[in-house]
């Protein structure tokens, strides 16, 4: 019996030093961003990623509002994450993660388990969803955010938690789209209002994903069907 107890005690330090989960650059909606899950704490990040890649800082939200965050790969937007927490102190857990923070164009290493990434176009999202969805009009705060998947297959992105996708059209200049758009067509995709992805002008523009925000489910989150 003493031998068994001694052997069990010897196993404890080995289990405590188990290697951290590998980062596979995959976002699993409702579950994780790479190795980051809802149960992670700040100390875990230095095990998940190189210590020199983890830095506490602030990120700018709308209209100059700053928010405390932990940044991963801050100087490389193609890999960067910005994590905000549900409280203060070492036992706080992640509330949301901005994926490829600071990147608006170009390649992002992160993608969802279903293949959505920065650069995925509206037409591709409609195909994945099995139909049109609703986004907010461009040119205003939260413009281009997907508001609802309208009961389509991608509704699973919003439960548990939520994966917020932001779309935008390719620009050739300030408030000018690269796609040839009439004034009426530009008006049809802009404004502080909900717009269906099936709107002819929206499909002509075929905007792409330019932002991904992963939100963990809160204690009062909606029940998934």
Domains of the chain, residue spans: 111-155+166-211
* Alpha-carbon distances of 11 from 17, 20, 130, rounded to whole Å: 10, 17, 51
* Alpha-carbon distances of 138 from 90, 92, 129, 193, 194, rounded to whole Å: 39, 35, 21, 9, 10
- Concatenate the DSSP letters of all residues of 41-79 into one string: -HHHHHHHS-GGGEEEEEEE-GGG-EEEEEEESTT-TTT
Confidence label for 222 from pLDDT (cuts 50, 70 and 90)? low
d(CA 60, CA 189): 26
Tokens matching residue 146: 């997907």
pLDDT in tens, 94-150: 999 999 998 877 899 999 999 999 999 999 999 999 999 999 999 888 899 999 999
Q: What is the mean pLDDT of residues 20-28?
A: 86
Element (H, E) at 105: none
pLDDT, position 176: 79
Which 8-state DSSP code applies to residue 81? E
% the chain with pLDDT above 70: 87
Tokens matching residue 208: 């792409």
Please state, rounded to an integer, the average pLDDT across all residues of the chain: 88
pLDDT, position 185: 94
Q: What is the mean pLDDT of residues 155-162?
A: 92
Strand duo 81-85 + 66-72: pairing:
antiparallel
Would the pLDDT of 170 be above 90?
no
Would the pLDDT of 42 be above 80?
yes
Confidence label for 62 from pLDDT (cuts 50, 70 and 90)? confident
């Amino acid at each position: 019996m003493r031998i068994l107890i001694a052997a069990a005690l010897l196993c404890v330090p080995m289990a405590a030093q188990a290697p951290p989960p590998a980062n596979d650059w995959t976002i699993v909606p409702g579950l994780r961003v790479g190795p980051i899950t809802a149960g992670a704490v700040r100390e875990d990040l230095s095990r998940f990623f190189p210590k020199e890649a983890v830095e506490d800082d602030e990120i700018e939200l709308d209209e100059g509002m700053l928010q405390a965050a932990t940044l991963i790969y801050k100087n490389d937007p193609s890999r960067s994450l910005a994590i905000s927490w549900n409280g203060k102190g070492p036992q706080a857990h992640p509330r949301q993660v901005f994926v490829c923070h600071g990147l608006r164009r170009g390649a992002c290493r992160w993608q969802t388990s279903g293949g959505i990434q920065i650069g995925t176009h509206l037409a591709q999202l409609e195909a994945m969803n099995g139909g049109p969805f609703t986004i907010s009009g461009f040119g205003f705060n939260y413009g281009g955010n997907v508001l609802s998947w309208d009961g389509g297959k991608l509704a699973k992105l919003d439960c548990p938690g939520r994966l917020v996708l932001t779309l935008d059209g390719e620009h050739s200049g300030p408030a000018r789209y690269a796609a040839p758009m009439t004034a009426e067509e530009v008006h049809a995709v802009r404004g502080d209002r909900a717009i269906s992805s099936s709107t002819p002008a929206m499909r002509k523009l075929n905007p792409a994903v330019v932002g991904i925000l992963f939100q963990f489910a809160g204690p009062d989150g909606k029940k998934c069907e």
